[in-house]
Amino acid sequence: MKRPTILVLGAGYGGLATVVNLQKNIGTDVADITLINQNNYHYESTWLHEASAGTLRPDQVRYEIADVIKADKVKFVKASVEGIDIASKKVTTDNGEFTYDYLVIGLGFEGETFGIPGLDKYALSIANVKAARQIREHIEYQFATWSMDEVKDDSRLTIVVGGAGFTGIEFLGELGNRVPELCKEFDVPKDKVSIICVEASPMVLPGFDPELVEYAVGHLQAKGIEFSVGTPVVEATPEGVKIKKGEDEFEFIKAGTVVWAAGVRGNRLIEQSGIENMRARVKVDKDMRAPGHNDVFIVGDCALMINEEINRPYPPTAQIAMQQGVTVAKNIISLINGSATEEFVPDLKGSVCSLGEHDAIGVVFGKKITGTKASFMKKVIDNRSLYMIGGPSLVVKKGKFNLL
């Protein structure tokens, strides 16, 4: 009897958690498992803001997939997915075609520009390790060029960050630490540097406790970061961004660096697959399957789940994606064994937003925390995600140990 083939697309938090839990709990004589990813490494997307600011090296936020999968149980294929044909149960890549009996889609997020002219050309996005390296090097280039120019253009030292959500605030926190180092390295007067956060909505960190938001904004303002809230970006150009200040009032901010951190969507291959979706995210059934497709599971940024208590989607966090991977692995094994699947119920332990190396805000187990205590918890959470995938050896290799 032919063994069923399990095909996992993407080695992000959800996809990798699925594979790791499958290899723990399924024998090689039971199923063939194949993982497809465009890189031979996994990167911690929740650390990309640090690599982008230059407070972590790009190699510190990634690790080899081979370090956490078992070659005798999982076949790894380095390839970019080009198409998903649900009807014929086939996936097309730049490294061949693959068929499946069970498919797990964990292809991650893409930046959402909301159709704003010029953003896709003139703004940098914290999208992956390579993009993070580009942002870091671009900022360093602007500082170096300013210091060498005979006629100084101070707009080179203006950094605009679009978005005051989780990613934007964490990136601003790292910039607050990194900019003084850059000023010292390139002999740039600190008062020449401007960091401006532009947010379209009327509030910073929507969904966070107002008291914690006030703490975060105050902390960042003390580092010299300016906030322009309720002022949407309407255009990006090679020279900067145009924002809307009022009904018929606009302002142009001349800036050498524009980083867009104001929204994500699922992978566009979802839209081309024929699976019902909203902005490339699939409103999954309770057992994480795509509606109407009993052999297709969706995890991570591509999955949309509604928190029925507040009638809003759960945020696409690493914590939830990894928990989804555990449930999906269990459910695939159940289907192979002819058993019923189980419902995915998120176990939300809390959320912590870093504000730089030794400061953060958060709610953990229902308690509000700030400062070094919150920063400590953030690093514990980061280390725990490493442990869940690669055990103690991965924590030793890649963990954060400067806890205080």
Could you give the residue numbers annotated as active site?
170
Q: What is the CA radius of gyration of the chain?
A: 22
Cβ contact 34:75 at 8 Å: yes
Count Cβ atoms below 10 Å from residue 1 Cβ, excluding itself. Answer: 3
Which residues lie closer than 8 Å to 348 by C-beta, 6 or more apart? 319, 320
CA-based nearest residue to 359, from 225, 226, 215: 215
Q: How far apart are CA 135 and CA 125, in angstroms?
A: 8
Q: How far apart are CA 14 and CA 301, in angstroms?
A: 8
DSSP state of 248: S
Q: How far apart are CA 136 and CA 52, in angstroms?
A: 5
- Tokens at 209, concatenated: 């406790």
CA-based nearest residue to 81, from 266, 268, 317, 301: 268
Q: How far apart are CA 162 and CA 262, in angstroms?
A: 6
